[in-house]
A and B are shown apart, each in its own frame.
Chain A
Amino acid sequence: MLLSALIFLPLLYAAVIGALPRTEWIRPTALALSLVHLILGLGIFLQFEKGVAALQLVEKTPWLEQFGVHYFVGIDGISLWLVVMTLALTPLVILGSWTSIENRTKTFHVSLFALLTTMLGSFLAMDAILFYIFFEASLIPMYFMIGIWGGPRRIYATVKFFVYTMLGSLLMLAAIIALMLMTAHQMGGQMSASLLDFYQLQIPFVAGEWLTTQTLLMFAFAIAFAIKVPMFPFHTWLPDAHVEAPTPGSVILAAVMLKMGSYGFMRMAFPLFPDAIEYWAWLFVFISAFGIVYGALVAMVQPDIKKLVAYSSVSHMGYIMLGLFAFNIFGMTGGLYQMLNHGISTGALFLLVGMIYERTHSRQISDYGGLAQAAPWFSIVFLIVTMSSIAVPLTNGFVGEFLILLGAFSASKIYGAIAVTGVILGAAYMLWMVKRVFFGPLSPMLSKYSPEKLDMNWREKVLMAPLVVLIFWMGILPNHFLDWSRESLEHLVNNRYTYELSIHEKDGHDGR
């Protein structure tokens, strides 16, 4: 029952928030509920068994029986940390939006909890239709978040975001239906939407031909996920969405929603279409590596801090995809680890940019300068997060980036070498920005504010502390995290062509 509780309790929380009579109760209640939910979520660690590749904590009940659609959720080493990250970020997002979301706080928190349901649902669903519903439904709260609480061009941004993502998902829906029909054909007449059954399918593939089933289906899934990630050239919705989104929207978008794309590759595109993915890997590897360099270069010349961070996401997501497409244990592990790292470091960067924007109402790098002397705590935290983002050893970013590069290099020397140049460019765009924002004499705009007002308050310190701790914890003791995912990742890498996922029966009576 734990997973279902995790998925659906947020809807109850949303109802509670909706029923609150007084506005000033909303934020504390939401924070408390999200913390309770996080603690509940940490309960996974009590039940989840390490060293098992199979699906755990499974719940399965028939839903639309004639189509073989089930309410089917489960967790394994691939989804585990993404779920935990999503849970852990929610209280931080609520705390981070404490003062920045000024109007319609009730609607905001209701949307937030609705979003939580859909995000967790996407990571936990093991039925393709259920997955699709959560995957699509997550767009709606985010659409409102950007559209209601966003910046001046919010409508343009949110429509662009919605239409772009929607377009990809429609292709995926068609492909899911095709796969369901195939299950009926191959598995004795009964249609099924279970991913576990999908994994068993024999999907015809002819190398070199465009119009074979596997290739077409693979592209239908891959384009949907590539837009979500986003991979070059489908990335242009991202900078707009990020710049216009309110801070909590940006954080969730970067930290969690982009990961739905890369997770989709790991969960579906890779094991379902191994031949087609392998055959077309060169294309994905190329656009990943291109995206790393392209995102970094474009980030370098952004005049707006938030846009810079958004383009840095394009670069970082390029790393993640490059790692996954290396198809070896280093790249796959590094890719998964970097998904978490990117969630932490980019999430933290958006929170920090939000904090300073709230005070000065400017995100133009040229307005800043000398912030380090005016706001030392803010600067220290920003610098630590920057180190994580540019993958300095002993921060989490290094572990992920190193493994990805190791994986990429072992798959292809050339792409490994191209990706390594991203290490240089990453340092260049981040440190150049840091230099212009934090160093030098105090800028005229900043000298209008008193230092006490500019620096972090206690709420913001509390909010950033867990992220800083995680940056070093994950950087120094990565095995604490990797140990939980090792089996699942190795299972995926080693059995990519004959992938199947069984259901782990705990003590003989697992909740089915």
Chain B
Amino acid sequence: MATLQIKQVVKRFDDTEVLKGIDLEVNDREFVVFVGPSGCGKSTLLRIIAGLESATTGDLLIDGERINEVGPADRGLAMVFQSYALYPHMTVEDNMGFSLRLAGVGKQARREKVLEAARILQLEPLLDRKPKALSGGQRQRVAIGRAIVRNPSIFLFDEPLSNLDAALRVQMRIELARLHEELDATMIYVTHDQIEAMTMADKIVVLQGGEVEQVGSPMELYHHPCNRFVAGFIGSPKMNFLPVTAQAVSTSGVRVALPGGGTSEVAVNGEGAQAGDALELGIRPEHLLLDDQGPLSGQIKVIERLGGQTSLYVEMDDGIITITADGDVTYRVNEQVNFGFEPSRAHLFDGQGLALASLQRHPLSGLVRQDSRERVENSRERPEGGA
């Protein structure tokens, strides 16, 4: 179907550089998620791909052909907007068939295509309604339907779930994943919500300040974040960071002095690090273990019980640390706790915030979602739509 290459794309608005030279490849049938805090440039990048903005410099290629000068409608893309951007004066059917009408497709053929998309999305009973008479979730589906009807080579989604309530968001997430299977299409999805990124993506692109921080599968980003920003951004609750000092560097890893007197050897490549360096130790809340013999300690300030698990907010000298513990722990507020961690689960970051590379790759970190890998390998031909 379609691959997309982005080469050295820069976008400048007046004097501010919103995108600072983006390089990226999107493979055929891949579900790629652009994630980052607001203002990171992810929406601008998507709009450049869509053709709604033009890149200041750099190239865009679809299936190897430069499309910078091609108009948005002729790129073979379809976009689902954050606001859905349904045409309020048209019925659902007319909304979905508008692109075909503009392309001069006959009434009958138009209706068939719309009906097919409506069937996939279970929109049949709503075809005669106007957008005003639809619920948020239904509008969302119409917007997706409008994209499906165009039979695009790449689907673009601009934060499509951010206007839905929490329950509906979970449901639509599942539906989108199902749709990706069913349509077998390349999808690019923008969100600021890392959970959406983790649950749906084959490949996540983390952006910040107009630059790509890291590209990788969800598990790769989770287990091997390349810097402090990605480490903090991916995963919930956020990773904890503790200031530590390097004590010894060896081939088996870096031994660091923990606050409170203990030491621990983290299995990372210590090249470039020296004893005495100030480093930061990163540990996810779920990887901290409550242990009376543990090298770390602090006072519990807040306890959040979610039933299945408990979040403990523990005050140490260097700030508050979050620990995710079992749902049945019996601690109380103001209690003193000791805790530790498995060194293989810890991360080390240098003075610039860059991660020291792990010596062992996590077994899941190379994993693209099983099904999509099979798909790529089988590489079966998708029957051409009759557009």
| Pairing of A with B | no
Which residues of A are in contact with B by a Cβ distance under 8 Å?
A: none
Which residues of B are in contact with A by a Cβ distance under 8 Å?
A: none
